Structure 1
Amino acid sequence: MDCPVTAAIDVIGGKWKVVILYHLRDNTLRFGELRKRIPKITQKMLTQQLRELEANHLIVRKVYAEVPPRVEYTSTPIADELRPIMDMLCAWGERHKKLLQSAE
């Protein structure tokens, strides 16, 4: 029997997916805007992660018929279900960062 945690990590695991979803919550962003918000991610990796998130129905990619083409990304309702988990991760990250700073 598959572990439910494994199923979740298969969809949102890795270094960047949760970060991307965090930036897309309450926002519709273009590719360049995501790159600015996540400066350490490469263009290739961002493209790959966005494709995987779209394939798993966590984001929607909308292409506008303009020149130059405009593409926007929005989180889906199923991704929005992760909001409480992301809020908890943010709070934990802040506490952990402070703990590390106080230990220096």
Structure 2
Amino acid sequence: MTTTRTDPNASGGAAYNAFLAMCPSRLLLERISNKWVVLVLCALGGDADKAPDVPAAPTAMRYSELARLLSGVSQKMLTQTLRSLERDGLLTRTVTPTVPVTVTYELTDLGLSLHRVVRRLREWAQSHMDDVLAHREEYDART
């Protein structure tokens, strides 16, 4: 399909171009740029209580742990986010037959590779928030 790929022989497989409207990689960008996706990846990547310069250690977490950690996320949104990440192969869902049943989520190798990218995005947002707020205030004063 010419609207979704560039030259498929260039890299030995499909070469996607997110600048094209119907490219599947554009849809993937839309999904992974969601704030809840970024925060779930960072939580499962072990970033929740780490300073930016401390290496993260990936961790398995239960649904209730994620819900507590991600302040403000609704049950519906967290469930949808976890399902979409599982569908895309970014995390695994493990059910342990206990009473009650224990369900844990953990990043896959693919999820860990994306975690390394979104961790930097989260760090940038946190460290530059004061600058952004100052620019917003300045902009709003002009308009």
What TM-score do the two structures reach when normalised by structure 2? 0.64
The alpha-carbon deviation at position 45 of structure 1 amounts to 1.1
The alpha-carbon deviation at position 90 of structure 1 amounts to 2.5
Where do 5+ consecutive residues of structure 1 fail to align?
A: none
The alpha-carbon deviation at position 64 of structure 1 amounts to 0.5
Letter in 1 for 2:36: W
Tell me which protein shows more helix as a share of its residues.
1
Partner of 2:117: 85
- Determine which of 26, 42, 60 is the counterpart of 1:6: 26
| Structure showing greater relative contact order (alpha-carbon pairs closer than 8 Å, 6 or more residues apart) | 1
Q: Is the 8 A contact 1:11 1:56 kept in 2?
A: no
Tell me which protein shows more strand as a share of its residues.
1
Where do 5+ consecutive residues of structure 2 fail to align?
A: 5-16, 19-24, 46-57, 138-143
Percent sequence identity is: 31
| Matched residue count | 104
Deviates more, 1:67-76 or 1:93-102: 93-102
- Determine which of 47, 52, 56 is the counterpart of 2:88: 56
Partner of 1:45: 77
Change in CA separation of 1:72 and 1:88 when aligned onto 2, cut-off 3 Å: same
The alpha-carbon deviation at position 41 of structure 1 amounts to 0.5
Structure of larger gyration radius: 2
